[in-house]
Structure 1
Amino acid sequence: MKQIKLYIIIVSILAVGFLYCKQSRKQLTHNMDKNIVFSGVDATGTSVRITQYPANIVSLAPSNTEILFDIGLGASITGRTRFCNYPPEVESIPIVGGFVDINVERIVALQPDLVLAIRGNPQKSITELRRLAIKVFALDPKDITDVVRTIKDIGNITGKKENAEILADNLARRIEVVSELVKTIPVELRPKVFYGDWKSPITAAGINNPIDSLITMAGGINIATDSGVSWPHYSFERILAHNPDIILSGFKNKEDLVKDQDLLLEEIRNDMLWSKIKAVQTNRIYFIDEDIVMRPGPRMVDALELLARYFHPDKFNVRAKESSRVLSH
Structure 2
Amino acid sequence: MPSAPASLIAAAVLAAAGISHAQPAQRIVALQPSLTEALCSLDACDRLVAVDRHSDWPAGVAALPRVGGMADANVEAIVALRPDLVLLGARSRVAERLRALGLNVLVLEARSHADIHRNLEAIAQALGKPGAGERLWRGLDMRVQEQRRRVPAAWRGRRVYLELHGGRAAASEDSFIGETLALLGLSNVVPGRLGAFPRLGPEYALRADPDVLITTTVGATVPPPQRPGWQALRAVREQRYCTLSERQFDVVLRAGPRIDEAAAALVQCLQGLTPPGA
1:250 corresponds to which letter in structure 2?
A: T
1:1-329 correspondence runs (5 A) = 40-42=11-13, 45-122=16-93, 125-161=94-130, 163-177=132-146, 190-196=157-163, 202-225=168-191, 228-252=194-218, 267-271=223-227, 273-288=229-244, 289-308=248-267, 310-311=269-270, 320-322=271-273
Q: State the Cα distance separating 1:163 from its structure 2 match.
A: 4.6
Query: What's the secondary structure of 1:304's corresponding residue?
Result: helix
What are the superposed Cα offsets for residues 21-49 of structure 1, whole Å, 9 maximum, x if unpaired? xxxxxxxxxxxxxxxxxx94438943322
Q: State the Cα distance separating 1:103 from its structure 2 match.
A: 1.7
Q: State the Cα distance separating 1:247 from its structure 2 match.
A: 0.7
Structure 1 length as normaliser, TM-score?
0.68
Residue 10 (structure 1) aligns with = none
Q: State the Cα distance separating 1:171 from its structure 2 match.
A: 0.9
Percent of paired sites with the same residue: 26
What are the superposed Cα offsets for residues 144-186 of structure 1, whole Å, 9 maximum, x if unpaired? 332232222211110234654442221122234456899xx89
Counterpart Cα distance in 2 of 1:117 and 1:247: 32
What are the superposed Cα offsets for residues 87-115 of structure 1, whole Å, 9 maximum, x if unpaired? 22221111111012222211110001211
Q: State the Cα distance separating 1:62 from its structure 2 match.
A: 0.9
Q: State the Cα distance separating 1:242 from its structure 2 match.
A: 2.3
2:252 corresponds to which letter in structure 1?
A: V
Question: Structure 1 residues 96, 278: closer, same or farther in 2, change over 3 A?
Answer: same
Q: State the Cα distance separating 1:206 from its structure 2 match.
A: 3.4
Unaligned regions of 5+ residues in structure 1, if any? Answer: 1-38, 312-319, 324-329
1:292 corresponds to which letter in structure 2?
A: V
Q: State the Cα distance separating 1:198 from its structure 2 match.
A: 9.8
2:30 corresponds to which letter in structure 1?
A: S
Aligned residues: 261
Q: Which moved more, 1:62-71 or 1:151-160?
A: 151-160
Query: What's the secondary structure of 2:54's corresponding residue?
Result: coil
Q: Report if aligned partners of 2:174, 2:192 keep a CA contact under 8 Å in 1.
A: no
2:272 corresponds to which letter in structure 1?
A: K
1:303 corresponds to which letter in structure 2?
A: A
- More helix per residue: 1
- The root-mean-square deviation of aligned C-alpha atoms, in Å, is 3.3
Counterpart Cα distance in 2 of 1:230 and 1:41: 25
Unaligned regions of 5+ residues in structure 2, if any? Answer: 1-9
Greater length-normalized contact order (CA 8 Å, ≥ 6 residues apart) = 2
Q: Report if aligned partners of 2:27, 2:47 keep a CA contact under 8 Å in 1.
A: yes
Residue 6 (structure 2) aligns with = none
